[in-house]
Structure 1
Amino acid sequence: MTRWPDWEREGKGWPNHQSSRFVTAGGVRWHVQRMGEGPCVLLIHGTGAGTHSWRDVMPLLARDHTVIAVDLPGHAFSRPLDDDPTPFTLPGMACALGRLLEALDEWPALVVGHSAGAAVGARLCIDGWARPGTLVSLNGVMLPFPGAVTLMFSNVARLLSMMPMLPQMVAWRATDRRAVEDLLRSTGSTVDPRGTEFYGRLIRHPGHVSGVLKMMNHWDLQPLAEDLPQLPVELAQIVGDRDRMVPLSEALRVQTRVLGSSLLRLPGLGHLAHEERPSLLAQQVGRHGVSDPVGVS
C-alpha cells in the first residue's frame, strides 16, 4: 500500500497549520489553507511542492487580502479520490481546482502560479474557471521547451514502466538530508533549513513522489501553448535570473504569445525566489493590485 504523508504526523508544525482544512471537490480531497480578509489571492505551487512553499509569502499577503493556497492533486496532503488520472492532466487539474473554488465560494481577483503552477493558473483562466484581473507567473513553465525539464518529464513514463518501485526508491534516497539539499540547490535557490525540512518530509513518502511522477507523466503543454494568445486576463511574469530550471528565454517566448504581458527580472534569485525573498515577492505581487474579479458563470 502506498504511504502518503499523514496530516496527524507530518502535518504537526506545518507552516500556517492553523489556517488548514480539508475540502472534497472535483474528485480530490484537497488540503486548503485560507487566511486574511479582502480581495482573494490564489497561490498555486509548482511540481513537487505544497502549501509550505508559500509559508512566508502567505502571511504577508494576508494583511490586505484573503489568501488561498492548496496542495495540488497527488501532492503533499491532497489526494485524488480514486485512480482516475484526469486530475493529473493540466485541463483536469484546472477543472478540479475550479470545482474547489466553487465549493469554497471564492473567486480570485489575483492568481499567482509558480513554475508548473503558472500553467495551471493559465488553464484555469482560459477555461473559464476563474477570471482574475491578473495572472502572475513566477518562474513559470507554460510552454513545451527543449532542455532539462522537458527531458525529465518525457522520461517519466518510460522509467515508471521499467521501475514500478521508483517512488519508493526516491523516497528512500530522501532519507539522506544531503540528497534533499542537493535537489534544492540544483534549482539555483538557497532554501533555509526550515524549508529544506518540509521538502524532506514530503519527498520521504512514496505517495507524494508517486503523485508528482503521475503529474509529470500526464503533463502536455502543447495545447496551452496554442491557447495562450487567447489568455483573457493580464499576465505579469516574474523571473529569478539565477533560475537553473527554467531559463529566461522561456519567459521571453511567452511574451511573444501574450501581447502586453510584463516581465520583471529579480537579480540573484533562483527558481524558488519566493522562498528566498518572500517579502520582495509579496511586494511585487502586491504591485499588481487587485480589484473585484469578473464573475464566472
Structure 2
Amino acid sequence: MCPPPEGARAPTGGGFAPAGRACRGPRPAPHGYRRAYRVAGEGPALVLIHGIGDSSATWADLIPDLARSHTVIAPDLLGHGSSDKPRADYSVAAYANGVRDLLTTLDIESATLVGHSLGGGVAMQFAYQFPERTERLILVSAGGVGGEVNPVLRAVSLPGAHLMLSALRLPGMRLQVGIFLRLMRLLDTDLGQDAPELLNLVDALPDATSRSAFIRTLRAVVDWRGQAVTMLDRCYLTEGMPTMLLWGDRDSVVPVRHAYGAHQAMPGSRLEIFEGAGHFPFHSDPARFLDLVEEFTSTTSPADWSREHWRELLRAGRPGTTAGRPDTAHNRAVERDLREASERSAT
C-alpha cells in the first residue's frame, strides 16, 4: 500500500487506501475493488458517511475537530470520490456491507455512525443489519424516511439520464448552471441555499464512468415517483439506540417534514433543526454541528444490544405513530408515509 497522508493511520487491508491517493495496493482488493477512506484521531470510533455524488471531502473541515476525541473514519463509498466505480451493486444494503468491511479491516468492533442524505440511509441500514456494531446514529438530512425527493433527482432516475448528465460537461454548461443556482440563491429559494454544494456535484461527474456509477446509485434508491426504498417501517427497532436527527428547515432535496416523521417513528430520538439551512446543515453552521455531535456522543451511552431485546421488538412489531394525535395535514402525511413503507422497504 502507499503511505497514508500525515496524521492518517495506514490501511491494514489491500482493498482500502487513504482517500485522494492515486495508488493501488500490491495485493488484490477485497471483492476486487479499491475503496478509499480518510482516518484520523484516537478514541471511540465515529464513521462519517457522505451523500450521493459526494465524497469524504465533504467532511474535511470537520474531521480535525472531531478527531480530538474520536477515531474518525470517512469512506468514499463505492462509485464515489477516489474509490473504484465498477458495474456493481450500489444498493444501501451493499453500502452497509462495505462499511462493515472497512470497520473490520481497521479492527473496529463498533462505532457511532453519522450519515448525510444517502449516507443517512446507509447508516440506518447498517444499524438494521448490524445492530450489535452500532453504538449511536446521527442522521443528517437523511434519505429513506419518506417518499418525497427533489424533482431533479427523480428526472435523473429516468431513461436517458446519461445524455442529460453528459450535457452538463459541454462547454459553457457549467457556467449556465452556476448562473441559475446563483439566481436561485439571490431569490432566496430553498434550492439556492445549497448552490455551492450542488455545483460541486456537477464537477464530481467528470467522465462516463463516474456518471454511470452516480446513476446506478440513484436508481437503487429513487424512481420517477420519489424515494423508492425506506427504513421508516423499521425505525421502531432503534428503541434503546441513541439517535439524533439533524435537518435544515429549508432542505430542497429531502424536505424537513421527513425529519418530523422519522422523529415520531424512532422511539427516544432527538431532533435538532437548523434554521435557514438547506440540505447541508453541517456546512451552513459547522460550529453548531460540531457542538451537537460532541455533546451527543459524550452524554449518551452506546446502545446495549441484545438478541432478546431485538426479538421482543420484532415480535411486537411497529406501533402506530399518529394514533391519538391531532388530525393535521402533517400527521396525515406521516401516516401515509408509514402505510407506504412496506412496499418500499430496503432489504
Q: Could you state the TM-score of these two structures normalised by the residue count of structure 2?
A: 0.68
Structure 1 counterpart of 2:323 = none
What letter matches 2:174 in structure 1? D
Structure 2 counterpart of 1:209 = 211
Uncovered stretches (5+) of structure 1, i.e. residues with no partner: 1-15
Please tell me whether Structure 1 or Structure 2 has the larger radius of gyration of its CA atoms.
Answer: 2
What letter matches 1:21 in structure 2? P
- Structure 1 stretch displaced more, 64-73 or 23-32: 23-32
Tell me whether 1:75 sits opposite 2:72 in the alignment. no
Tell me whether 1:170 sits opposite 2:173 in the alignment. no
Corresponding residue to 2:280 among 249, 264, 272: 272
What letter matches 2:231 in structure 1? L
For 2:167 and 2:246, the matched residues in 1 are separated by: 34
For 1:32 and 1:176, the matched residues in 2 are separated by: 28
Q: Could you state the TM-score of these two structures normalised by the residue count of structure 1?
A: 0.78
Question: How does 1:1-297 map onto structure 2 within 5 Å?
Answer: 19=8, 21=18, 24-26=29-31, 28-80=33-85, 82-84=86-88, 86=89, 88-128=90-130, 131-146=133-148, 148-149=149-150, 151-159=151-159, 162=160, 164-172=162-170, 176-177=174-175, 179-180=177-178, 182=180, 187-189=191-193, 199=201, 201-219=203-221, 221-222=228-229, 224-231=231-238, 233-289=241-297
Q: Structure 1 residues 204 and 141, CA, compared in 2 at 3 Å: closer, same or farther?
A: same
What letter matches 2:177 in structure 1? A
Q: Secondary structure at the match of 2:115?
A: strand
For 1:56 and 1:237, the matched residues in 2 are separated by: 21
The alpha carbon displacement at 1:224 in A equals: 2.2
Q: Structure 1 residues 180 and 58, CA, compared in 2 at 3 Å: closer, same or farther?
A: farther
Q: Secondary structure at the match of 1:270?
A: coil
- Structure 1 stretch displaced more, 105-114 or 262-271: 105-114
Kindly indicate whether the alpha-carbon contact (under 8 Å) linking 2:134 and 2:303 is maintained by their aligned counterparts in 1. yes
Kindly indicate whether the alpha-carbon contact (under 8 Å) linking 1:181 and 1:196 is maintained by their aligned counterparts in 2. no
Q: Structure 1 residues 215 and 181, CA, compared in 2 at 3 Å: closer, same or farther?
A: farther
Q: Structure 1 residues 55 and 208, CA, compared in 2 at 3 Å: closer, same or farther?
A: same
Q: Structure 1 residues 268 and 223, CA, compared in 2 at 3 Å: closer, same or farther?
A: closer
What letter matches 1:287 in structure 2? E
For 2:121 and 2:161, the matched residues in 1 are separated by: 28
Kindly indicate whether the alpha-carbon contact (under 8 Å) linking 1:44 and 1:118 is maintained by their aligned counterparts in 2. yes
For 1:196 and 1:164, the matched residues in 2 are separated by: 18
Q: Secondary structure at the match of 1:48?
A: coil
- Structure 1 stretch displaced more, 210-219 or 100-109: 100-109
What letter matches 1:229 in structure 2? Y
RMSD (Å) for aligned C-alpha atoms: 3.2
> Larger relative CO (CA 8 A, sep 6+): 1 or 2?
1
Q: Structure 1 residues 33 and 130, CA, compared in 2 at 3 Å: closer, same or farther?
A: farther
Kindly indicate whether the alpha-carbon contact (under 8 Å) linking 1:25 and 1:96 is maintained by their aligned counterparts in 2. no
Task: Give the share of equivalent positions with the same residue, in percent.
Answer: 23
